[in-house]
Amino acid sequence: MFAEASLSIWGWGGLGVVLFLVTFGPFAIFYLAFYIFCFIGGGFAVTLLYGKINSEKHLEKCEHSYLPSTQIGILKTLDEMKLEIKPIKIDRRLTGSSFIDEPLQQVIQFALRDYIQYWYYTLSEDESFLLEIRQTLQNALVQFSTRSKEVDWQPYFTTRLVDDFATHLRVFRKAQDRLTDREDKQRDIMEELVDSFFEAEVEMERKICRDVVCTSHKDEEGFLRDLCELLLYLLLPPGDFHNKNMRYFLREVLARGVLLPLINQLSDPDYINQFVIWMIRDSSCNYEAFMNILKMTDKPAELEAVKDKVLEELQYLRSLDTAGDDINVIKNQINSLLFVKKVCETRIQRLQSGKEVDALKLAANFGKLCVIPLDHILIHNIALQFFMDFMQAAGAQAELFFWLTVEGYRVTAQQQLEAMEGWQKDGKKQPSTTKGLLKAAALGVYEQYLSDKASPRVQVDEVSVTKLGDKLQKDDPTPEIFDEIQRKVYELMLRDERYYPSFKQSPLYVRMLAELDMLKEPSYRGSDDGDGESFNGSPTGSINLSLDDLSNACHDEFMHLHAFISDTGVCNDHGKTYALYAITVVRRNQDGSEDCWKTYRRYSDFHDFHMRITEQFENLASILKLPGKKTFNNMDREFLEKRKKDLNAYLQLLLNPEMVKACPTLIPYVYDFLENKAYSKGKGEFARKIDTFVNPLRSSMRNVSNAVKALPDSLAEGMTKVSDNMGRMSERLGQDIKQSILKVPPLLPKSEIDPDHCRVSAQLDDNVDDNIPLRVMLLLMDEVFDLKEKNQWLRRNIKNLLQQLIRATYGDTINRKIVDHVDYLTSPEQVADYVKKFRDSYWPNGILAETPPRRDKSIRMRTRVAAKTSLLGIMPDELKHIIGADTTRKGILRVFDMFQYQPMNRRLVYVFLEGFLETMFPQYKFPELFVKLHSRSPRIHRYSQKLKSSSLKR
């Protein structure tokens, strides 16, 4: 029975299993196990939830039974917080000017969108924080705008800003001077220059040194945090400022998100170079400046970058498949690029070999120098300065100063006598002291240079001196009273081997030629004003007509002669490239027929012809104006078209019937110039260069004289002021002459501090309040071109004379123009334009601009070359005529070099920022604050210890 029972169990069990698998499939067992697991897990979860709910209810009952009830105020606060937040109303008025508010609101919106909203919405969707941020920012802008309207910005932009820049340049110049005498040759030049710069800053500022802020990133961030927190205190409402979270948040955004990136960009040398190129984008490329930069650079990386670009351009030009006229243009471009490549390779080889040759020594040993006549030297301020140095070294300064003093006396006497005649004609009362002053001045010249008491005494025969003394005692002085002795002194300086002949053999003469820009290496290329015969003929097949017989033509025949420049072209002759102008000449004969021919002239032919006729007819010099040579060897088509237009105007004025009537003897010269033959130059290249440098000085003197004569009323009204200025100038000139001749020590300055160790504005006269912007500009010019060095006696006096003349006559006008320009730059319309430009450059089309890719080294080096070329190319020729070509180049390159060091640029940015804040908030003690912030530098402590030790030694 037991066996049957077990068999039936296994049978029925097996049958059940088989039926289960057949019915539900082979995986039914797994489903069954899963169902059982879910049943058990669900029961466990229900038990936990039921227990949790019951336990919470139990705890709540215990809380109410053992804790006090919640206060009503807290419940009301919770209820108010649950209510819907009302939108904050934002006033969109910021500055009070709709021109500025509209673009400024867009800038605020874009900034919040791209710098705050993108990360805030990942944390919360509540917009109240964003609205509060916007409201706080607008409140700060309103406070800033209100404060800026109360400030007079003219003194800052016309005086403080220029003074900060000039003082920064002075510190850099002192650092450069120290670098030339450095003893540690193993240290990096840049590191040494930066150290010298901040050492010089300590000596200048005494209590401030910004080296820590400019060289340490950590200290710079700390300085900016302190500064931003102070600005937030001044600009934010008290409630927002006392909110620490808000204050720290805004401080970090301003310091690290706004100011630090801005300072990094403004102090980047490559960015400054790009900005310089952009500022001078309207000026044409100057070939002469470009070649000078390549020949003067001491950076092989710059030359390598230019050479690589030249090779790239050469490869492109050689790959072009052209024919016809284009092939000549391409050949000219290839020749130019090959020349630039050769210059770069030669310069690189010299720099790498260490065999750099001094151009002055090379020219002195070469022996073939231009000869400048003595009469040209005496009327040109640059040449005169070097001749004056030579005469002082030779002990013959008395003769030169006598000649110059007599020239000044003659001009002054002529002006005073002309003024007296004008007063007599107008019936005005003649000042009785005029003749007495002239006689006293003449006697002063006699006593200082010709009398027995004069020391040193001018070397002149006693007969002439005695004769002059008798005339001074008996007769009234005339402008020509010293002419005879002056002529003898001139012959002495010209003929005596100790003076002018020896000067031509001295190194000072070579330096003079360098300043006159007449000391150049031979060029492989020509220029549009170089020597060489002009191509003449008639390639178009016009008749060969000789004008030899026309020089005796009658005046009526000349009236029917017309000429104009019909075309311009660029010619290449044995490697020389120059511009050629085709002049079409038409002559109408008496029988009604016309003769037509073409002649071809270069700019040098026009220059030679102009020099000829202005020498023969002096009255033409003020009428005929030959277009100047502003760019050297520039074959640009636009430039050639402009010169063609100017030369055409010159020709039409020359052929004007009224001109012919006024100067009938001019006809043969015009015929000779327009004749269809090779033009024979009467002047050499040196004569044309001398004319280029001497004539501007003469023209400027004539213009000043004409202006003085044309303004008798204004000068009569300001005669007292002019007389005072002339008296101060004469007194200073006399002190300088006495110091040079008699070795009288100079007067002590008002302060015991060396003027070279103080700010530039410290040289302003405290008793004179007029024309401050103009005088600061002149002081800036002193710093750029270093006109105060010891051998610049004459240049200093010329600058002082210019300053006094401008102040006495046109100073108020120029000063007013400067002030008006500053007012225009700070007007609401211009400020709105600045904001729009910032918005469009930072968010073009309303989208945040992408970060520009980092520029490689070769591009940055070529940018340096382009920036230097642009700066040197915009310098007017008139400036070179006044202070010298070499001095101009050195001054411009010094300014460029100053911007190539980022720590120094950071210092300049911080100086500008500090000056701006001191002007913006004058009622707060910002100067004392900056002294405390910058006094952490170790250089301050070392300088203080140095001063203490030096005082103890005394």
Nearest to 894 by CA among 112, 5, 174: 174
Q: With beta carbons less than 8 A apart as the criterion, state whether 513 and 360 touch.
A: no
> How much is the average pLDDT of 346-355?
81
Assess whether 102 and 25 both reside in one domain.
Answer: no
Lowest mean pLDDT among 299-313, 532-546, 930-944: 532-546
Flag whether pLDDT at 437 surpasses 50. Answer: yes
Flag whether pLDDT at 706 surpasses 70. Answer: no
Cβ atoms within 10 Å, residue 305: 22
Flag whether pLDDT at 653 surpasses 90. Answer: no
Nearest to 193 by CA among 945, 939, 898: 898
Q: Give the whole-angstrom CA distance, residue 178 versus residue 115.
A: 46
Flag whether pLDDT at 569 surpasses 90. Answer: no
In the prediction, which pLDDT does 325 show? 54
Q: Give the whole-angstrom CA distance, residue 530 versus residue 242.
A: 75
874 token code pair: 């915009």
Assess whether 477 and 609 both reside in one domain.
Answer: no
pLDDT in tens, 801-837: 555 545 554 556 666 777 787 888 888 888 889 889 8
Which of the residue ranges 194-198, 683-687, 798-802 has the most confident prediction, judged by mean pLDDT? 194-198
Flag whether pLDDT at 757 surpasses 70. Answer: no
Assess whether 474 and 571 both reside in one domain.
Answer: no
Confidence bin at 799 (pLDDT 50/70/90)? low
Exposure class string for 86-115: b at 16+ Cβ within 10 A, else e = eeeeeeeebbebebbbebbbeebebbbeee
Percent of the chain scoring above 90 in pLDDT: 11
Q: Does residue 558 or residue 849 have the better pLDDT?
A: 849
Query: Reduced to 3 DSSP states, what percent helix, strand and coil does the chain have, rounded to the nearest 5?
Result: 70, 5, 25
In the prediction, which pLDDT does 365 show? 46
> How much is the average pLDDT of 915-924?
91
Q: Does residue 426 or residue 486 have the better pLDDT?
A: 486
Q: Does residue 541 or residue 432 have the better pLDDT?
A: 432
Assess whether 60 and 82 both reside in one domain.
Answer: no
What global pTM score does this model have? Answer: 0.65
Domain with residue 620: its CATH number is 3.30.1520.10
In the prediction, which pLDDT does 814 show? 63
Percent of the chain scoring above 70 in pLDDT: 71
Confidence bin at 431 (pLDDT 50/70/90)? low
Lowest mean pLDDT among 502-516, 656-670, 880-894: 656-670
Flag whether pLDDT at 530 surpasses 60. Answer: no
Assess whether 376 and 511 both reside in one domain.
Answer: yes
Helix ranges restricted to H, 787-884: 793-808, 811-825, 828-842, 857-873, 877-883
In the prediction, which pLDDT does 788 show? 63
> How much is the average pLDDT of 154-162?
85
In the prediction, which pLDDT does 756 show? 58
Nearest to 205 by CA among 246, 171, 248, 254: 171
Q: Give the whole-angstrom CA distance, residue 608 versus residue 685.
A: 9
Flag whether pLDDT at 8 surpasses 70. Answer: yes
3-state secondary structure 740-771: HHHCCCCCCCCCCCCHHHCCHHHHCCCCCCCC
Cβ neighbours of residue 884 under 8 Å, at least 6 residues apart? Answer: 382, 515, 516
Name residue, tokens 């300014």.
Answer: 895
> How much is the average pLDDT of 251-276?
91
Lowest mean pLDDT among 138-152, 315-329, 360-374, 865-879: 360-374
Q: With beta carbons less than 8 A apart as the criterion, state whether 94 and 141 touch.
A: yes
Lowest mean pLDDT among 473-482, 611-620, 735-744: 735-744
Cβ atoms within 10 Å, residue 932: 13
* Rg, the chain, Cα only: 42
Q: Is residue 250 part of a domain?
A: no
765 token code pair: 């006269």
Q: Give the whole-angstrom CA distance, residue 23 versus residue 31.
A: 13
Q: Is residue 692 part of a domain?
A: no
In the prediction, which pLDDT does 67 show? 53
Q: Is residue 338 part of a domain?
A: no
pLDDT in tens, 382-396: 788 888 888 888 888
Q: Is residue 255 part of a domain?
A: no
In the prediction, which pLDDT does 915 show? 92
The chain-wide mean pLDDT, for the chain, equals 75
- Cα–Cα distance list, 764 to 775, 776, 810 (Å): 8, 8, 19
Nearest to 685 by CA among 579, 570, 608, 615: 608
Assess whether 23 and 90 both reside in one domain.
Answer: no
Q: Is residue 595 part of a domain?
A: yes
Flag whether pLDDT at 916 surpasses 70. Answer: yes
Assess whether 394 and 482 both reside in one domain.
Answer: yes
Strands of the sheet containing 594-601, edge to edge, are: 561-573, 576-588, 594-601
Assess whether 503 and 391 both reside in one domain.
Answer: yes
Q: How many CA atoms lie within 13 A of 217 on its CB side?
A: 4
Flag whether pLDDT at 416 surpasses 60. Answer: yes
Q: Is residue 442 part of a domain?
A: yes
Q: With beta carbons less than 8 A apart as the criterion, state whether 889 and 516 touch.
A: no
Lowest mean pLDDT among 2-11, 50-59, 626-635: 626-635
Q: Is residue 556 part of a domain?
A: no
Helix ranges restricted to H, 67-206: 72-82, 98-112, 118-120, 128-149, 154-155, 161-180, 189-205
Nearest to 213 by CA among 205, 201, 221, 202: 221
Domain boundary (449, 482, 516) is at 516
3-state secondary structure of 776: helix
DSSP sequence for 558-603: HHTEEEEEEEEEEEEETTEEEEEEEEEEEEE-TTS-EEEEEEEE-H
Q: Give the whole-angstrom CA distance, residue 175 versus residue 897.
A: 12
Name residue, tokens 């009236």.
Answer: 559
- Residue 937, phi-psi category: left (phi > 0), alpha (psi -120 to 50), beta (remainder): beta
Assess whether 485 and 387 both reside in one domain.
Answer: yes
In the prediction, which pLDDT does 935 show? 84
Beta-sheet pairing, 576-588 with 561-573: antiparallel
Q: Does residue 908 or residue 244 have the better pLDDT?
A: 908
Domain boundary (457, 486, 516) is at 516
- Cα–Cα distance list, 200 to 203, 205, 321, 781, 902 (Å): 5, 9, 60, 20, 17
Question: Which domain, by its residues, includes 442?
Answer: 372-419+437-516
Q: With beta carbons less than 8 A apart as the criterion, state whether 796 and 787 touch.
A: yes
Q: Is residue 102 part of a domain?
A: yes
pLDDT in tens, 161-216: 888 998 999 999 999 888 876 655 556 688 889 999 999 999 888 889 999 999 99
Q: With beta carbons less than 8 A apart as the criterion, state whether 512 and 382 touch.
A: yes
Q: Give the whole-angstrom CA distance, residue 587 versus residue 836.
A: 60
In the prediction, which pLDDT does 633 show? 44
In the prediction, which pLDDT does 457 show? 85
DSSP state, residue 702:
H
In the prediction, which pLDDT does 710 show? 35
pLDDT in tens, 709-752: 333 333 223 323 333 333 333 334 334 433 433 333 333 333 44
In the prediction, which pLDDT does 529 show? 44
In the prediction, which pLDDT does 537 show? 35
Confidence bin at 401 (pLDDT 50/70/90)? confident
* Number of structural domains in the chain: 4
Domain boundary (27, 42, 64) is at 64
Q: With beta carbons less than 8 A apart as the criterion, state whether 740 and 397 touch.
A: yes
Assess whether 492 and 411 both reside in one domain.
Answer: yes
Flag whether pLDDT at 264 surpasses 90. Answer: yes
Angle at 667 between CA 662 and CA 672, to 5 degrees: 150
269 token code pair: 């040398």
Assess whether 586 and 668 both reside in one domain.
Answer: yes
Assess whether 378 and 509 both reside in one domain.
Answer: yes
Which of the residue ranges 161-175, 310-324, 382-396, 435-449 has the most confident prediction, judged by mean pLDDT? 161-175
In the prediction, which pLDDT does 727 show? 36
Flag whether pLDDT at 603 surpasses 50. Answer: yes
Q: Give the whole-angstrom CA distance, residue 70 versus residue 64.
A: 10
Lowest mean pLDDT among 68-82, 304-318, 472-486, 703-717: 703-717
Which residue(s) pair with 582 in the sheet?
A: 567, 600
